[in-house]
């Protein structure tokens, strides 16, 4: 006689088996194991446990990530996409949370028909981040600081009963790489990435010329793109490279000399001067969209190219 199990119980059993190492983990973009803990919770993808070499080889252009070292990652769950405007709006509506005003956005100064650089605007924010194209609810929320991202994760924890958080820097790199060994998830040629990532491409350069390197292809978006418009990586995660830089749980250190080898975050707190961001954004040059590149900014940095995604431990 066949026995039917509820889907939530089946997912839980599979997650526990993977976590314990009883099942081999062959995750694919076509069939990732996913979890949704509550109606307002994001869809999560189960990331398998494993080991990987964190950091970059000496030959990578723009390299500053070393020493390269092995990290052991426990299985965990990571949001399939970046937190969207709609997701963040639910949080604000439910809690009355207020994000501090002000954001670094594209400059309104026009020289020879082009915008020039960036400016801090007190009237800009997550609902009005200064883009030329309209902001839509399915785009990543931007103009949010590290504290805002943590507050959103804390709210998810309360409504779901699960411990949501930001991913550690090691977890982020492991999940973004998804078993790949190239400079990018799709290989080592940035110009082949326009089906995979919203980066600083030809269309973005036509609108805002920063004078730095660009991806020599067309990804279809000069600015921010809705989430999941590009191909996922091998584990079913979208936009790990490009679209927006993503806050992590790590306090930034210049090197990996004393960082944890178990995938946990570098502890921060009030004394942390800068927090690590990963993945690059819609305006980022190819050398900074690498899987290994590390950005860092103060806790209250709010930019129109900074967002985040959430993670949680598996039960």
Domains of the chain in sequence order: 7-313 (3.90.1580.10)
**Eight-class DSSP state of 288:** G
Which positions of the chain have pLDDT values less than 50?
1-8, 10-11, 18-19, 22-25
Beta strands 311-313 and 306-307, pairing class: unpaired
What is the per-residue pLDDT across 256-284, written as a single tens digit (0 to 9) for each? 998 999 999 998 878 899 999 999 999 99
pTM for the whole structure: 0.89
Which pLDDT does position 269 carry in this prediction? 77
Cα(139)–Cα(141) distance, integer angstroms:
6
CA distance 187 to 289: 12
pLDDT score of 25: 46
Residues in the chain: 315
Segment 252-261 long-range contacts (CB within 8 Å, at least 24 positions apart): 252/276, 252/294, 252/296, 255/66, 255/67, 256/54, 256/55, 256/65, 256/66, 256/67, 256/68, 256/69, 257/67, 259/69, 259/170, 260/71, 260/170, 261/69, 261/70, 261/71, 261/72
Tell me the C-alpha distance between 119 and 132, whole Å. 15
Q: How far is CA 7 from CA 34, 155, 247, in A?
A: 11, 25, 32
3-state secondary structure of 49: coil
Tell me the helix, strand and coil percentages in the chain, rounded to 5.
20, 20, 60
């Amino acid at each position: 006689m066949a026995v039917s199990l509820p889907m939530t119980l089946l997912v839980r059993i599979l997650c526990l088996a993977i976590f314990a190492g009883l099942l081999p983990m062959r995750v694919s973009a076509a069939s990732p194991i996913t979890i949704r803990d509550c109606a307002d919770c994001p869809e999560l993808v189960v990331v398998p446990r494993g080991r990987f070499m964190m950091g970059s080889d000496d030959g990578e252009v723009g390299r500053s990530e070393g020493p390269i070292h092995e990290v052991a990652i426990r299985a965990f769950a990571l949001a399939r996409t970046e937190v969207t405007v709609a997701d963040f709006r639910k949080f604000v509506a439910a809690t009355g949370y207020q994000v501090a005003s002000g954001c670094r956005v594209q400059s309104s100064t026009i020289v020879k028909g082009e915008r020039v650089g960036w400016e801090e605007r007190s009237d800009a924010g997550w609902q009005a981040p200064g883009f030329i194209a309209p902001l839509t609810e399915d785009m990543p929320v931007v103009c949010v600081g590290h504290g805002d991202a943590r507050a959103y994760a804390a709210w998810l924890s309360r409504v779901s009963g699960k411990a949501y958080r930001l991913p550690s820097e090691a977890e982020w790199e492991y999940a973004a790489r998804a078993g790949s060994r190239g400079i990018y998830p799709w290989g080592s040629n940035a110009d082949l990435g326009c089906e995979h990532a919203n980066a600083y491409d030809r269309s973005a350069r036509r609108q805002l010329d920063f004078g730095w390197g660009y991806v020599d292809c067309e990804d279809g978006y000069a600015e921010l793109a809705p989430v999941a418009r590009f191909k996922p990586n091998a584990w079913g995660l979208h936009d790990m490279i490009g679209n927006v830089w993503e806050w992590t749980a790590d306090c930034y250190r210049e090197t990996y000399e004393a960082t944890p080898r178990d995938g946990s975050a570098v502890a921060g707190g009030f004394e942390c001067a800068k927090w690590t961001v990963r993945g690059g954004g819609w305006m980022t040059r190819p050398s900074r969209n690498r899987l290994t590149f590390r950005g860092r900014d103060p806790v209250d940095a709010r930019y129109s190219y900074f967002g985040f995604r959430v993670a949680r431990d598996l039960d």
